[in-house]
Amino acid sequence: MKISQEELISVLAQFNPWWRGESVPELPDWRRAAFRELHSWLVAPPAPRAVLLSGARQIGKTTLLLQVIQTLLRSGVPAANILYVTFDHPLLKLAGIDAVLQAWRAREPASEGIEYLFMDEAQFIRDWGTWIKHQVDFNKTRRIAFTGSAMPMTETAQESGVGRWRTIRMTTLSFFEYLQIKRLTLPQLRPVKSLRELFEWQPAEFARVAESAEPYVAHFHEYLVRGGFPQIAQVESITQAQRLLREDIIDKVLKRDMTALFGVRRVLDLEHTFLYLCMHDGGLLDVADLCANLEVKRPTAQNFIELLESAHVIYRLAPYGYGKDILRARFKIYLADAAIAPAVMLKGKTMLEDPTALGIATETAVFKHLLSRYYASSVRFSYWRGRKHHEVDLLADVGGQFVPFEVKYRNQHTGKRELKGLLELCETKPIEQGYVVTRSMHDFGPFGDKTTSSTMNTLLMRIPAPLLCYWLGASELDSAEQSASL
């Protein structure tokens, strides 16, 4: 459908107030951890690449783009050389990218220097992968950042993207970022850039930090219920926050994006599949049970799960192994945010009264924090299951060095009798250090002795979940480089 250039210019002028000499409106003064990486790739890219901000809806991708635009303008980049466009807008979606660029240059003649093109919801651009590939290959004076909350990554698009764009994977707010956006006044905690530092602490330091961190526990529980979506996290009422989250996930992702982008017609079956996954957050996926309960065929169920992963509302965690071991095994499913399940299932704050549900939500949050902190490093995450069917929740493979994480979010003190899977793993593989995620601030510190392994001694550290998530979020924000040290 042809849209007049005058109409396009009118729409673009609304999204680009700097063309009129106005500032970018209503931007928060704090920045997500991804800001530094995005800015560096646009200002001084290590290689000719576009940049893809990938993540779920409502996690701050647009705000991040506008913050970078603001920084570029303040550094002296001509306003005419910066275009922000969202293809969520119906007229821009209908017009297409080429017509939009023509309208840009009809309104703002190019100035000398690099052009910066920021495209929101680029999945609505027809043949977006081919277009970006062509721009990167043949237009060396234009730098592109684009977002996608549900990118239909076909094999063709994936092949086109190799060497053409850098993917920055955004998750919902970390616990550290959540505290920043809420502007809470809490005791300052000692910074920890690497969890390895804890093994060098003296016993008195664990006690001091535990006492200072006690006020963080209640806020961590509210974070699990309220969620890490920036706008929703600031809503005063938890009931209202969960309603907004439910509407964004169900109405916008399942009912709109899946139909528009992936051609899903059986929306009710897709919604039922997602509800099933919400009920099994953090658990092993039993596709046969899912199919039997929802009366859908296996290929349909597997397709729905892949689509939900493409829309960034779930993560799949593979078992440890290679080749056929993984193909035959069951994946674990984690929701993109611990608050999604209680919001979708209309649980309100009652989750905090259910020890099992609270433990699952904590495990989901821990997984998200580890994934967010180390996604750009050569860290492979999996879960481990031994011959005795004992499991370890998360196993990080850092260049052949294995670092396990076991979540035991319970009121009781955690002893080694509760860690059968972790101890079996330590007897199987050469592991130097491992971590047990606990609930109580007093359940913090190293175990009294080393765990004997077949090849070496393993040191185990108990860390309360609020502290672990706080430190992982803070180190992600403060780190000048994505260190793979765990």
Token pair 């009781």 is found at 412
Q: Are residues 451 and 349 in the same domain?
A: yes
Which whole-number Å values give the CA distances from 324 to 48, 288, 301, 305, 330, in the listed order? 37, 19, 21, 20, 12
Q: Would you tell me the crossing angle of helices 465-478 and 216-226 to the nearest 10 degrees?
A: 80
For residue 154, pLDDT beyond 70: no
Q: β-strands 457-464, 451-452: how paired?
A: antiparallel
For residue 160, pLDDT beyond 60: no
As a whole number, mean pLDDT of residues 292-316 equals 93
Say whether 398 sits in a helix, a strand or coil.
strand
Q: Are residues 301 and 194 in the same domain?
A: yes
Mean pLDDT rounded to a whole number for the chain: 88
Q: Are residues 283 and 416 in the same domain?
A: yes
Q: Are residues 268 and 372 in the same domain?
A: yes
In-domain check, residue 484: no
Q: Are residues 160 and 183 in the same domain?
A: no
Domain limit, last residue, from 170, 193, 223: 170
Which CATH number covers residue 127? 3.40.50.300
Q: Are residues 19 and 107 in the same domain?
A: yes
Q: State the residue range of the domain holding 338.
A: 176-478
Q: For residue 295, name the pLDDT band (cuts at 50, 70, 90).
A: very high
> Which range among 16-30, 112-126, 142-156 shows the weakest confidence by mean pLDDT?
142-156
Domain limit, last residue, from 170, 192, 224: 170
Using H for helix, E for strand and C for coil, what is the string for 71-114?
HHHHCCCCHHHEEEEECCCHHHHHHCHHHHHHHHHHHCCCCCCC
Cβ proximity of 365 and 352 under 8 Å: no
Q: For the chain, percent helix, then strand, then coil, each to nearest 5?
A: 50, 15, 35
In-domain check, residue 335: yes
State residue 316's pLDDT score. 93
State residue 482's pLDDT score. 43
For residue 453, pLDDT beyond 50: no
> Which range among 149-158, 365-374, 416-425, 464-473 shows the weakest confidence by mean pLDDT?
149-158
Q: Show the tokens assigned to 95.
A: 């017009």
Q: Are residues 151 and 225 in the same domain?
A: no
Tally of domains in the chain:
2
CA-CA distance, 271 to 264, in Å (whole number)? 11
Q: Are residues 215 and 149 in the same domain?
A: no
In-domain check, residue 483: no
State residue 261's pLDDT score. 79
CA-CA distance, 225 to 162, in Å (whole number)? 38
Domain limit, last residue, from 170, 203, 230: 170
Q: β-strands 391-398, 401-407: how paired?
A: antiparallel
In-domain check, residue 276: yes
Q: Are residues 205 and 95 in the same domain?
A: no
Q: For residue 398, name the pLDDT band (cuts at 50, 70, 90).
A: confident
Q: Check the CA dihedral 348-354-357-358 and report its sign.
A: positive
As a whole number, mean pLDDT of residues 463-481 equals 83
In-domain check, residue 121: yes
State residue 477's pLDDT score. 66
CA-CA distance, 208 to 287, in Å (whole number)? 47
Q: Are residues 146 and 244 in the same domain?
A: no
Q: Show the tokens assigned to 213.
A: 């961190």
Dmax over Cα atoms in the chain, in whole Å? 74
Q: For residue 24, name the pLDDT band (cuts at 50, 70, 90).
A: confident
